Amino acid sequence: MSQAHYFSQDVPPLEPSELRPVDFRVLGHAGVQLVGAAGVFSHGKLDLGTKVLLRTLARLGPSYGLPAEPGALLLDLGCGWGPLALTMAALRPTARVVAVDTNPRALALTKLNAANLGLDNVEVAAPADATALTGIVRLWSNPPIRIGKAALHELLTTWLDRLAPGGAAELVVGRNLGADPLAQWLGSPGGGARGVTRRGSAKGYRVLSVTPS
């Protein structure tokens, strides 16, 4: 499988003719056709790992464990075309949802999908433009495992250190992509001695809930 979408900072901007339908409805609601485009992760359908994450979080209750405070900062790390950010924004319309990705096409698609859904509480940002974001109350991510262990550790350390006290991150990681060693590392002193709980396990994926140390 090509991994070009992980390293696509230099891709050209999206043309309307490039938009392709995505087979996903936010919270199952019919009506709005979401879009993806070549060069963006799983651009035609919801990725299986992301599906496992959403199904696991749905078991936490109708708000998927998202806090109700207006203005709460919710973050989608590595948003792709936006399934996690859009779901957060639909569940909590008064929250501030920020979707971060290195891929400008991903950011453009998330912005477009949010606008088409009428979700005006979604912002998109490149990582370099999001360094001031702290006090994140919930972070959801299907993280870019294939960037390599060292880069992934650096990425997760950067963002998990921005969680609010009492905040949490919900991560989905393939078992064969190192979910268990990653969980162990996150709980170790080198990984920040964070609280790590396995929330669920399905279809070859683990859902890890991570809290500040």
Ligand X SMILES: C[S@@+](CC[C@H](N)C(=O)[O-])C[C@H]1O[C@@H](n2cnc3c(N)ncnc32)[C@H](O)[C@@H]1O
**Contacts with ligand X, residue ranges (CB under 6 A):** 5-6, 41-42, 47, 50, 77-80, 83-84, 100-103, 106, 127, 142, 144, 147, 155
Nearer to ligand X, 63 or 131 (CB): 131
Nearer to ligand X, 68 or 128 (CB): 128
SS3 186: helix
Nearer to ligand X, 70 or 148 (CB): 148
CB of 197 to ligand X, least distance (A): 21
Nearer to ligand X, 75 or 183 (CB): 75
The answer to whether residues 75 and 160 touch, using CB atoms and an 8 Å cutoff, is no
- Mark 9-30 as b/e (b = at least 16 C-beta within 10 Å): eebeebeeebbeebebebeeee
CB of 191 to ligand X, least distance (A): 17
CB of 117 to ligand X, least distance (A): 16
CA separation (Å) from 25 to 20, 21, 82, 96, 193? 14, 11, 12, 21, 37
- Closest by Cα among 11, 48, 3, 23 to 144: 3
Q: Using CB positions, name the residue nearest to ligand X.
A: 78
Helix intervals (H) in the chain: 48-58, 83-91, 104-117, 149-160, 179-187
Nearer to ligand X, 106 or 117 (CB): 106
Instruction: Tell me the C-alpha distance between 105 and 115, whole Å.
Output: 15
CB of 80 to ligand X, least distance (A): 3
CB of 82 to ligand X, least distance (A): 7
CB of 5 to ligand X, least distance (A): 6
Bridge-based pairing of strands 136-141 and 163-174 is parallel
The answer to whether residues 20 and 37 touch, using CB atoms and an 8 Å cutoff, is yes
Nearer to ligand X, 23 or 69 (CB): 23
